[in-house]
Amino acid sequence: MNTVQHLIGGRDVASAATFETINPATGQVLAEVASGGQAEVDAAVAAAKAAFPGWAATPVKERARLLRRLGDLIAAHVPEISELETRDCGQVIGQTRKALIPRAADNFYYFSEFIQHQHGETYDSDTGHLNYTLWQPVGVVALISPWNVPFMTATWKTAPCLAFGNTAVMKMSELSPLTADYLGKLVLEAGIPPGVFNLVHGYGHSAGEALVSHKDVRAISFTGSTATGDRIVRSAGLKKFSMELGGKSPFVIFDDADYDRALDAALFMIFSNNGERCTAGSRILVQKTIYERFVTDFTARAGRLKVGDPLDPETIIGPMISPGHREKVLRYIGIGQEEGARLVLGGGSPQVAPHLAGGNWVEPTVFADVDNKMKIAQDEIFGPVPCLIPFATEEDAISIANDTAYGLSSYLWTENTGRVLRMAKAIEAGMTFVNSQNVRDLRQPFGGTKGSGVGREGNHYSYEVFCEPKNVAVSY
C-alpha cells in the first residue's frame, strides 16, 4: 500500500503513528499516512523558521519565477491530480478536472504576477515627514485546510503565503491528505528551496493544535468549520489570522428574475461539489408568486441528477466524505421531517453500482415549505440538502436572508436594478452574486462576515494575514 509521509525541510519524514485515508466512494483504503503531533510540528516549524530569511530575501523576480514554474507543473499534471483528488475526497471528476485543479495552477500564476506589481502607500505629511509603507512577510505561517476542495484550498493559501516571502507549515484535513502530498513534491521539483513549504499530516486535536499554538508561528490562515475556527482563535494566542469558515448562504429569487437561469444556478449552487461547499446556496428563498412552480421544477430537475461513481465524467453528485459525515447529513434529514418541513425529494440512500456499495451515499434531497427558524435552515448541513423557503416582499427576503449566524455568500436574482442596489447593501454577507452563481475572479476579496469568518483573502486583501505593514517616516 502507498505510504504518505510528512514533508519537513525538503525531506520525507515518517511518524510512529499512522492513519488510513479512505476512498469515500468505495470504502477502500487508499494510503497509510504518517500521523504527526508536537514533535513533527516542532521540526516543521523549525525548518520553516530556518528557511525564512533566505526566502524572504530572494528577489521578487526569482520568487515569481519559481511560483510560475510550480503553476506550470500543476497545469501539466491536471489529469493525475484530478483523479487523485476525486479518489481521496469524492468530488466528481467533472469538477476536479475542469475547474478545481486548473484553478490551483491559476492561484500560483496570479500571485506570481501580483508580487511584481506590489507597492506600498506614500504620503507627504505637514510635519515634514515622508511616510511610506512596506509590506513585509510575517515569517512562519500555519496553513490549515478542510477536506471539501483540498487541493484548491491548499494552493489558494500556499500561493500568497510564499509569494509574499513567508514560509509555510501546512496541515490538511486527515480525511483528504493525498493531493497536498503531491503538491509538496511539485514544490521541490519547481526548485523552491527545502523548508520553505512543509507539510505535517495528522488530526486537528494533535497536529492542528500543536501548530496553531506554536510560539514561532506568526500567522494562521485557516479554512474549516466555524466551531474549529472559534477554538483556534482561543488557543492560538497573539497571532495574525484569517478565518474562512462555514456558511448557510441565501439564494434569493424574485418573480421578475430570469426563471430558467435562476433555476439552473440554484441547482448548481447546492448540488455541485456534492453540496459540500462553503458557499452553497443552501437556503433557496423564492417569491410566493412563483414558489409552487419553482418547487415542482427544482424537484424534478434535482431528481434527474446522476449520483454515483465520482470518476465517471457524467456523475453530478458523488459520495459524502466519510461515514460520520453521511450520518450527520441523514440526521439533519430526519430533523427536517420532525420539524415539519415538506420532504419533496430523496431522504435516504441512492441505488449505486455494486463496486460503490462501501461508499457514503446520500440521495439528493429537497425540503420545501421550510421555516427559516428550523434547525435545517439555521445549521450548515454541508450536503445535497437544500431548504426551499417562500417569501412575500423584498423586506421579508432581507429579513430571512439575514436571520442566520453565518454571512459567507449570497445570491440575488431579480431584474429590478433598484432592488439589486438596496439588497446588495442590506444583505449581511462577504459576497453577493447578482443574477449569477458563484464565479470566482482571483481579484475578488474572498471571505465572510458574522460566523463565516474574519478577514479576506485574494488580491491585496491577502496582506491582512500574510504581510505586516510597516510605516517608515523620514524627516526632511
Q: Which residues of this protein are in contact with ligand NAD, per CB under 6 A?
A: 144-148, 171-174, 203-205, 208-209, 212, 223-225, 228, 231-232, 244-247, 278, 380, 382, 408, 448, 453
Q: Is 244 a catalytic residue?
A: yes
Residue 147: other Cβ atoms inside 10 A: 23
User: Grid coordinates in use for 197?
Assistant: 513549504
The 10 Å CB-count burial string (b at 16+, else e) for 254-288 is bbebeeeebbebbbebbbbbbbbbbbbbbbbbbbe
Distance between CA atoms of 270 and 386, rounded to whole angstroms? 6
Least Cβ distance, residue 292 to ligand NAD (angstroms) = 31
Closer residue to ligand NAD, CB minimum distance, 389 or 454: 454
Closer residue to ligand NAD, CB minimum distance, 254 or 466: 466
Phi first, then psi, for residue 141 (nearest 5°) are -120, 135
Least Cβ distance, residue 78 to ligand NAD (angstroms) = 21
Q: Encode 136-174 in three state secondary structure.
A: EECCEEEEECCCCCHHHHHHHHHHHHHHCCCEEEEECCC
Q: Quick check: 170 and 180 in contact, CB under 8 A? A: yes
> 214 CB contacts (<8 Å, ≥6 apart)?
41, 42, 45, 142
Closer residue to ligand NAD, CB minimum distance, 153 or 167: 153
Least Cβ distance, residue 325 to ligand NAD (angstroms) = 7
Closer residue to ligand NAD, CB minimum distance, 52 or 382: 382
Least Cβ distance, residue 111 to ligand NAD (angstroms) = 17
Which of 201, 210, 207, 109 lies closest to 156 in space, CA to CA? 109
Least Cβ distance, residue 144 to ligand NAD (angstroms) = 5
Q: Which residue is nearest to ligand NAD (CB)?
A: 204
Q: What angle do CA 166, 113, 154 make, to 5 degrees?
A: 50
Catalytic residue among 174, 244, 363, 464: 244
Phi first, then psi, for residue 143 (nearest 5°) are -115, 115
Amino acid at 44: A
Least Cβ distance, residue 194 to ligand NAD (angstroms) = 23
Least Cβ distance, residue 393 to ligand NAD (angstroms) = 30
Taking the C-alpha atoms of 224, 150, 40 and 137 in order, what is their torsion angle to the nearest 10 degrees? -80
Closer residue to ligand NAD, CB minimum distance, 65 or 231: 231
User: Grid coordinates in use for 182?
Assistant: 503531491
The DSSP element (H or E) to which 332 belongs, if any, is helix 323-339
Distance between CA atoms of 468 and 354, rounded to whole angstroms? 54
Closer residue to ligand NAD, CB minimum distance, 174 or 309: 174
Closer residue to ligand NAD, CB minimum distance, 43 or 170: 170
Residues forming a β-bridge with 368: 342
| Catalytic residue numbers, as ranges | 244
